[in-house]
Amino acid sequence: MATVQKSIAIRGAGVVGLWQALLLARSGNAVTIYERAAEPFSEACSLHAGAMLAPRCEEESAEAVIRELGMRGIALWREIYPGTIANGSLVVTQSRDRVLLDRFARMTSGYQQLDGAALAAIEPDLAKRVSGALYYPDEAHVAPEPALRFLLDEALAAGATLRLGAADTPQGADIVVDCRGLAAQDVLPSLRGVRGERIVIRSKEVGISRPVRLLHPRFPLYVVPWGDGLYMIGATVIESQETGPISLRSALELLTAAYALDPAFGEAEILMSGAGARPAFPDNRPRIINANGYIYVNGLYRHGFLLAPVLAELVARFIDTGEQNAEVFGADQGQW
Ligand SMILES: Cc1cc2nc3c(=O)[nH]c(=O)nc-3n(C[C@H](O)[C@H](O)[C@H](O)COP(=O)(O)OP(=O)(O)OC[C@H]3O[C@@H](n4cnc5c(N)ncnc54)[C@H](O)[C@@H]3O)c2cc1C
């Protein structure tokens, strides 16, 4: 039976705060989660995510450290969350854009080249439209809302307490772990928001069982199957921290690209659209910053679901042993 070690306040119940709460509560700490919103997840960027666990595909545009930490992130999701779908992911393009697929292959690793027949064996609907694909078998994904709910429920089951409508700085805890996402700009001024718009649809006709990225010179997109006929179509990457409704142009681009990927999308119902602002530091790398008695965990950019578990593991280790992973730890909060 674990003993209570420390009293730990977690600020923010997005994917980052919830993973922190879960691991720290499970290792016997007295954890209280302080969330500004009155309803869990209602103000979190995390609710808008794909949520692909795609360390290999992300290497096309991210530093190698994202892949290295991300592989551990997938292992932790698989270990802890039974809803993790470990089905791999696909990257495709229309034949006139073949050069984009070749470039993507050069920038990434851990894929298999699938010809039309091999693609048809795993995604028959897709194989009607594209002639080949890159297949990343060790990638995974989750549906964000059930995953967030699971993390919260498990943290509470491990003894954590949740305070909703609690935006003030927590008092009296031994340690405060600040996971407020973009709201932490008040103390981390170099944080910026990167707007991501997405549309959620329901279709009985589309039969895609793993995340698919469609490379396109102007309108790249991805489709993530969340189960029960739900698909997330995303996502824009816009230098803005606006979280207001999706623009008409973005909706057109996302839906047109989805329709090009599979015309069966034409009959789908549009259930939701919306935007989140991804919290990012100037170099788009995540940081754990230990300063002034606070531990800030932030800047997870496009990789919040992928990296939240591994950053939680690193924070738990730091609290236990003082060990700091040089790739992500920073000591000087003012620098950020
Ligand atoms: C369209 C889109 C698609 C994405 N797709 C993926 C993907 O496929 N894979 C992936 O890994 N990542 C993806 N991401 C990125 C991922 O969603 C983010 O990196 C992640 O959500 C950041 O999580 P967070 O917990 O830091 O912030 P948030 O989710 O924003 O959580 C912060 C929480 O802090 C709370 N808060 C704020 N101020 C206070 C306060 N004063 N006191 C208490 N609580 C406070 C907020 O209400 C919120 O609940 C995507 C993002 C978007 C927008």
Q: CA-to-CA distance for 207 and 82, rounded, in angstroms?
A: 22
What pLDDT is recorded for position 331?
64
- Of all protein residues, whose CA lies closest to atom 1 belonging to ligand 1? 196
Tokens (6 digits) for 297: 């965990």
Distance from the CA of 132 to the center of ligand 1, in angstroms?
A: 34
Helix H or strand E encompassing 202: strand 192-202
Distance from the CA of 277 to the center of ligand 1, in angstroms?
A: 8
- By most ligand atoms within 8 Å of CB, the mutation choice from 32, 34, 36 for ligand 1 is 36
Specify the DSSP class assigned to residue 145: H
In ligand 1, which atom is closest to the CA atom of 180? 34
Helix H or strand E encompassing 65: helix 64-80
Q: Strand pairing of 192-202 and 269-280?
A: antiparallel
Q: Tell me the C-alpha to C-alpha distance, in Å, between residue 131 and each of 34, 102, 279.
A: 50, 14, 37
Tokens (6 digits) for 246: 């999706």
CB of 182 closer than 8 Å to CB of 279: yes
In ligand 1, which atom is closest to the CA atom of 194? 53
pTM above 0.95, yes or no: yes
Q: CA-to-CA distance for 14 and 180, rounded, in angstroms?
A: 8
CB of 302 closer than 8 Å to CB of 276: no
- Per-block average pLDDT, block size 10, for the chain (336 residues)? 78 98 97 98 97 97 95 98 98 90 96 95 90 94 98 98 97 96 96 98 94 91 96 96 96 93 94 97 95 93 98 97 91 63
CB of 62 closer than 8 Å to CB of 73: no
State the number of CA atoms in the 13 A half-sphere of 134 facing the CB. Answer: 24
Distance from the CA of 38 to the center of ligand 1, in angstroms?
A: 16
What pLDDT is recorded for position 132?
86
What 3-state class would DSSP assign to 287? Answer: strand
Sequence letter at residue 205: E
**Which residue ranges form the domains of the chain, and what is each CATH number?**
7-48+143-186+282-335 (3.40.50.720), 89-137+192-280 (3.30.9.10)
Cβ(147) – ligand 1 distance below 6 Å: no
Distance from the CA of 35 to the center of ligand 1, in angstroms?
A: 12
In ligand 1, which atom is closest to the CA atom of 46? 21
Beta bridge partners of 279: 193
What pLDDT is recorded for position 264?
92
Q: CA-to-CA distance for 145 and 51, rounded, in angstroms?
A: 9
For residue 242, the tally of other CB atoms under 10 A from its CB is: 12
What pLDDT is recorded for position 1?
46
What pLDDT is recorded for position 335?
67
